Structure 1
Amino acid sequence: MRKIGCLGIIAALLVAVGLWVAHGWKGEGPAARPIAFTVPQGATLASAAARLEKAGAISSATRFRLQARVFGGGGSIKAGEYEIPAGASASQILSILQSGKALQRVVVIPEGLPSVMVRDTLMKADELTGDVAAPKEGSVLPDGYSYERGDTRAAVLARMQAAMTRYLAGAWKARKPASVVASPEQAIILASIVEKETGKPAERRTVAAVYSNRLRLGMPLQADPTVIYPITRGRPLGRRIRQSELRAKNGYNTYASAGLPVGPIANPGRLSIDAVLDPAPSKALYFVADGTGGHVFANTLAEHNANVKKWYAIRRARGEM
């Protein structure tokens, strides 16, 4: 009887231990909010469990280790930075750490951002390492770029530039006969002007047509952003352009000289590159703001002057003049 009683106690203890180990394996965990958790190279399950408990992701490091051995399938945890969701169970947490799917951060380069501000964006990006110089203007393809903690800014920038090289090569091969640019480099220069002149995607091909028509006729492009670029390197001017700046000859000012400027004035996006390589079938030579955030286009100077008068009337009604 005593032997049977001892066996019963042992069995009860084993059941209790089993229940303790199983508790919380699939149920909601204690994390009240998402937790960024890093597994260093060479970390053991024991060290990771202790840090998970300290971070509030699990309630017991000891139980988590036992659960991992009993239910974890024998897989090892992998180095990397992970996001532990709020309320994640021990089972979910172990799966995350065994997956190797590290947390991805994203740095976003908007269309038309000048290279000095590309550098600013990279320098402000969390968890990137190292310094980087402002890239060559027009060499970066605007987009969102993912990275992991500890990646270098130089490596991320290299991916941005490689993306531009690939996209421009494909777009150049697909260019249409109406395109006026003679090289991929000229395409980037003109696309950067189109990018800065309109924020409306639907207008880009027509703006590209205006500048293409002007280039064919030998007319100055007269693009305000090209006047601003040598003054600020693409940063906002913060004031109106001065008459002296409209007359300045510096390689960029398209009021003072006909033809394309000597280089890009920003990093153009895909739509602007496509627009200059396939401009709209338009004879327009002029455009001016229409008061809605877009532009109105004209084939003749007389039409353009009438449109300018309408724009001035809108500005006066708004108290801007």
Structure 2
Amino acid sequence: MWRSIASNALTLFIVLLIALAGAIAWGKREYVAEGPLEQAICLRVPSGSTMRRVSEDLAAQGAVSYPSIFRVGADYSDRSTELKAGSFLVPENASMEEIVDIVTRGGASTCGTEVVYRIGVNRALMQVRELDPATGTYVEAAEFQPGEAGEEGDTVPEPYTRVRGEAETRYRVLVAEGTTVWRVVESLKEADFLTGTLAPEDTPLEGMIAPDSYEVTEGADMADLVARMRALQQQRLDTVWAQRREGLPFETPEEMLTLASIIEKETGVPEERRQVASVFENRLRQGMRLQTDPTVIYGVTDGRGVLGRGLRQSELQSNSPYNTYVVEGLPPGPIANPGLASLEAAINPDTTPYLFFVADGSGGHAFAETLAEHNENVARWRAIEAQQQQANQ
């Protein structure tokens, strides 16, 4: 009898082992198999969350069919303790293995809310954008100018106050080409997600802030951010200067930066930068004055704000060192923060015979080799201006 019992027990044990092995094999297949999610979702993982809570949230949103397998798989791969807080984009049909990797990998959140602070030439704009997981595109939730009161005296829209302080909210500062250092620094003072102040000795010289997009965290130090901007511009200067061609009509990286800033202010058409650069460099070679309005404007405003009107004859005839209608050669320094493309245009201009250019009414410019051709282009532009003025009346 004991032999029969032992035999039956052994058989049962073998059956259980087979069943267990089958369950494990099935669980492994489910863990790596395509998931049931039909449309991408944005999964929020709060600070202090657990893998159990995450698995239940995923199940509620239809991303996993078996929360327990999700947790066992995370434990088996030693990832349970690596859960990160944030908002993460979970693509459609993601396997449980892929989702575990997404929520434990670390790094910046891949979806959710983004606060973008755009610093432009004339103003700064705060935007709150939320990612639509279904389309993978950001949808604007709010937009406002810091420091300017709304119609009812409310300076900050609700979507912005709601996302402030949330760990998964990402912040980005975007500096446009052609801004001045004054504009950037004054705008950063209005960014309430930054902390600290900028000492006068830490303020970069004109032109030494790199136009770019900068990821920051809430509470980041303003001085540290400005230092990053200055370091990137210095890196660009060093790199571009090392790539310069022979025979350029300037001798130092500082002069390159000055010319690049003029190119930046003279055209917003990327394809024109090297042509504009050729005009100024042809003029420098021939000893002609640059005669460019943006330098005169900088001399009037000192880079602080927008002139908001046309230049006066007295300003065009002044002895300001930035008045390139009077002084010869380059002005004493940059007039804005040029982007990388303008720096590259300064050291690699097109080869052209052009000495003049004027707006052509399409957003670009008409270029000319002779003064007679230029005067014809100017006449056409004046006619376009007159038509535009009549249309606006």
C-alpha spacing 1:161/1:314, structure 2 compared with 1 (3 Å): same
C-alpha spacing 1:190/1:74, structure 2 compared with 1 (3 Å): closer
Query: 1:241 deviation in Å?
Result: 2.2
Distance 1:284 1:30 in 2: 59
| Structure 2: stretches of 5+ with no match in the other structure | 1-8, 111-169
Alignment of 1:130 onto 2:195? yes
Query: 1:194 deviation in Å?
Result: 0.6
Query: Which amino acid counterpart does residue 311 of structure 2 have in structure 1?
Result: I
Q: Which of 4, 10, 34 is 2:42 aligned to?
A: 34
C-alpha spacing 1:288/1:31, structure 2 compared with 1 (3 Å): closer
Aligned residue for 1:305?
Answer: 375
Query: 1:281 deviation in Å?
Result: 2.2
Identity of aligned residues (%): 39
Q: Give the TM-score normalised by the residue count of structure 1.
A: 0.74
Which segment drifts farther, 248-257 or 217-226?
A: 248-257
Query: 1:197 deviation in Å?
Result: 0.3
Greater share of residues in strand? 2
C-alpha spacing 1:74/1:209, structure 2 compared with 1 (3 Å): closer
Aligned residue for 1:241?
Answer: 311
1:81/1:148 contact within 8 Å kept = no
Aligned residue for 2:254?
Answer: 185
Query: 1:227 deviation in Å?
Result: 2.0
1:107-137 Cα offsets, whole Å, 9 max, x none, are 33222222233336656779x5324546432
Q: Give the TM-score normalised by the residue count of structure 2.
A: 0.62
Distance 2:330 2:296 in 1: 12
| Structure 1: stretches of 5+ with no match in the other structure | none
Aligned residue for 2:224?
Answer: 155
Structure with the larger RCO, 1 or 2 (CA within 8 Å, 6+ apart):
1
2:40/2:89 contact within 8 Å kept = no
Query: 1:266 deviation in Å?
Result: 1.2
Partner-residue secondary structure (3-state), 2:389: coil
Which segment drifts farther, 173-182 or 184-193?
A: 173-182
Which segment drifts farther, 101-110 or 292-301?
A: 101-110
Superposed counterparts of 1:3-152, under 5 Å: 27-28=35-36, 33-37=41-45, 43=48, 47=50, 50=53, 68-69=74-75, 72-74=77-79, 76-77=81-82, 79=84, 81-85=86-90, 91-103=97-109, 105=170, 106-119=172-185, 122=188, 129-131=194-196, 133=198, 135-148=204-217, 151-152=220-221
Query: Which amino acid counterpart does residue 100 of structure 1 have in structure 2?
Result: G
C-alpha spacing 1:234/1:281, structure 2 compared with 1 (3 Å): farther
Distance 1:124 1:37 in 2: 30
Query: 1:284 deviation in Å?
Result: 2.2
C-alpha spacing 1:274/1:234, structure 2 compared with 1 (3 Å): farther
Alignment of 1:205 onto 2:274? yes
Distance 1:80 1:135 in 2: 36
Partner-residue secondary structure (3-state), 1:319: helix
Query: 1:172 deviation in Å?
Result: 1.2
Alignment of 1:277 onto 2:347? yes
Distance 2:69 2:380 in 1: 75
1:216-240 Cα offsets, whole Å, 9 max, x none, are 3433322111122241626433322
Partner-residue secondary structure (3-state), 2:285: helix
Query: 1:171 deviation in Å?
Result: 1.6
Partner-residue secondary structure (3-state), 2:338: coil
Aligned residue for 2:337?
Answer: 267
